Amino acid sequence: MPDVTGAPQNRTYWNETASVPSFPALAGDIEVDVAIIGGGIVGVTTARLLKDMGQRVAVIEARRVGQQVTGKSTAKMTSQHGIIYQTLEQKFGEDRARLYGEAQERGVRRISELAVQWGIKADIEPMPAYTYTNDESYVSQIEKEVEVAQRLGLPARLEHGDIGLPYNVLAAIRFDSQAQFHPVRYVAGLAATIPGEGSHVFEGSRAIEWEPTRVVTDHGTVTARHVVMATHLPLGQVGMYYAMAYPQAEPVLAAPIRRVPPGMYKNAEKPGHSIRTHRHENGQVYAIAAGTTFKPGHPDEEQDYIQELERWLTKNFEAGPIEYRWINEDYTPMDSAPFIGWSSKSDGYLVATGFDAWGISNGTVAAMIIADLATGRENRWLDIFDATRVKPIAGAKEFVVENAEVAAHLVSGYLSRKPKSYDELEPGHAAIMKVDGENVAAFKDEGGVVHAVSAVCTHMGCLVGWNATDRTWDCPCHGSRFELSGEVIHGPATQPLGSKVTG
């Protein structure tokens, strides 16, 4: 199994403060009841729940368990998802909006239950969750959100002024009985309980082919009654969810903090600011802060929002120095609810995607729903999350236009403004350029060595963009990420970017 833990794209606060077990790569052919592609919070929780139901399971993770998408999250255990419940009520009706809130609350509790049941030291710390504003135009939305959330039975109340931040706010919605935790310790700890009695966890095992009852890797095949795609976005063309959920990225920072806030906070307006804390084993409290979302592969926006977030964090919380910087990515569903369940109404895959940066509670909810479906049980939450629901129409035209504009921007912007040859590329810089008539993604490291791969995403042919923080190539159209070598970090792409000769 390749050692990827030291790669820049994998260096997050959570990954580097978790001592986690290793799992073997798949070698040979096996048969289980349910095969699960993806070893994040969705895949591992699904596996644990299914094993508790008497099922034999196999988790198939391409890299390291818990250290990819889950290891890049801010890791809030909360049903407070910004200003969402009034939107859900408007789009789906009060009853389904209530189901969403009920599911999130149950997901938060399930994490705590599993941690206690299996003795996992996940640093779970009860905390209230806030969404606040200092923009007059958002006050009415905050007030409306409180009214809707209370009517749906959620632990919400309206506050003004002092909410524990180093500045007063105009209005805030507060959810009590929420929590924060260490996501990698939790997921890896839960994964360690799975092997045995016909169940398995495999790392370093990338799925290269799949069917609804079979998963093929480079070194073995898993045959199963059902296949779960717990892969951020389903692989390849499965369910065509890339046409119903679009990728968004956000910068995340971790730094020692001296002015410690007594809750988890997110503002409603832009620029975006989210903050929670974690007490390191050395006793130092760290801030985990996230900033404004942007389209993956847009390095100018990425750097602007990182710098803005650094200024906000250091100015207001006496934080610093910044020790960790990374880019988190998730998918925003076009109708505001995640897609969970069967990918089609006949003989499909079990899928979960579109968590809109609320993957901790949604991921646990997804695991509970999928575990029920895989064992022939009904789940009433499916009424809001059903992945086979009538495909979202609102916003579809804008989505197509947006992707066309992204591709056009990459072609006209990068290719016209950036270096035309490897020699022109400065050390520490990257560019998309034309070389011998082909689109090439090139990075010149500080030693002057050029790393060049095809700039064409292997999923659907969009041009990738540079992620300067993680030193990866990210697809702005559908969110696939690739290492400098072209290796896939996560899909929907499954094939690497082809390498290019540099001289």
pLDDT digits (tens, 9 = 90+) for 7-58: 566 689 999 999 889 999 999 999 999 999 999 999 999 999 999 999 999 9
Of 393, 432, 402, 389, give the one whose Cα is nearest residue 247: 402
319: DSSP letter? B
Whether residue 500 lies inside any domain: the answer is no
What does the pLDDT read at residue 400?
A: 58
Whether residue 471 lies inside any domain: the answer is yes
Write out the two tokens for 265. Answer: 């906070």
Q: Measure CA of the first residue to CA of the last residue in the chain; give whole Å.
A: 30
What does the pLDDT read at residue 391?
A: 61
Clarify whether residues 163 and 144 are in a common domain. yes
Query: What does R_g of the chain's alpha carbons equal in angstroms?
Result: 22
**At residue 85, does pLDDT exceed 70?**
yes
72: DSSP letter? G
Query: What type of residue is 396?
Result: A
Clarify whether residues 482 and 342 are in a common domain. no
**At residue 5, does pLDDT exceed 50?**
no
pLDDT category of residue 494 using cuts at 50, 70 and 90: confident
What does the pLDDT read at residue 6?
A: 42
Whether residue 391 lies inside any domain: the answer is no
What does the pLDDT read at residue 436?
A: 85
What does the pLDDT read at residue 392?
A: 59
Looking at residue 459, which CATH number applies to its domain?
A: 2.102.10.10
pLDDT category of residue 4 using cuts at 50, 70 and 90: very low
**At residue 487, does pLDDT exceed 70?**
yes
**At residue 346, does pLDDT exceed 80?**
no
Looking at residue 260, which CATH number applies to its domain?
A: 3.30.9.10
Clarify whether residues 261 and 379 are in a common domain. no
83: DSSP letter? S
Look at the chain and count its residues: 503
Highest mean pLDDT among 363-372, 396-405, 446-455 belongs to: 363-372
Whether residue 427 lies inside any domain: the answer is yes
Scored b (16 or more CB within 10 A) or e, 98-109 reads: bbbbbbbbbbbb
Clarify whether residues 224 and 271 are in a common domain. no
**At residue 2, does pLDDT exceed 50?**
no
Clarify whether residues 171 and 26 are in a common domain. no
Whether residue 495 lies inside any domain: the answer is no
37: exposed, middle or buried (C-beta count within 10 Å: 0-12, 13-18, 19+)?
Answer: buried
Clarify whether residues 165 and 249 are in a common domain. yes
Clarify whether residues 307 and 328 are in a common domain. yes
Average pLDDT taken over every residue of the chain:
91
Total tally of structural domains belonging to the chain:
3
Clarify whether residues 270 and 404 are in a common domain. no
Element (H, E) at 13: helix 13-16
Write out the two tokens for 10. Answer: 């994998």
The mean pLDDT of 365-377, rounded to a whole number, is 97
Percent of the chain at pLDDT above 70? 92
Whether residue 58 lies inside any domain: the answer is yes
- Specify the range with the lowest mean pLDDT, choosing from 238-242, 291-295, 465-469: 238-242
| CA 381 – CA 383 distance, rounded (Å) | 5
pLDDT in tens, 389-446: 876 544 455 555 555 555 554 554 444 456 778 888 999 899 998 888 889 999 999 8
**CA 347 to each of CA 33, 207, 224, 344: distance values in angstroms, whole numbers, following the listed order:** 15, 19, 13, 7
Looking at residue 40, which CATH number applies to its domain?
A: 3.50.50.60
Residues spanned by the domain of 208: 8-72+184-242+336-385
Whether residue 78 lies inside any domain: the answer is no
The mean pLDDT of 61-88, rounded to a whole number, is 96
Clarify whether residues 258 and 274 are in a common domain. yes
- Mapping DSSP to helix (H, G, I), strand (E, B) and coil, where does residue 50 land? helix
Clarify whether residues 328 and 469 are in a common domain. no
- Specify the range with the lowest mean pLDDT, choosing from 250-254, 325-329, 457-461: 457-461
Whether residue 463 lies inside any domain: the answer is yes
What does the pLDDT read at residue 397?
A: 55
Clarify whether residues 326 and 357 are in a common domain. no
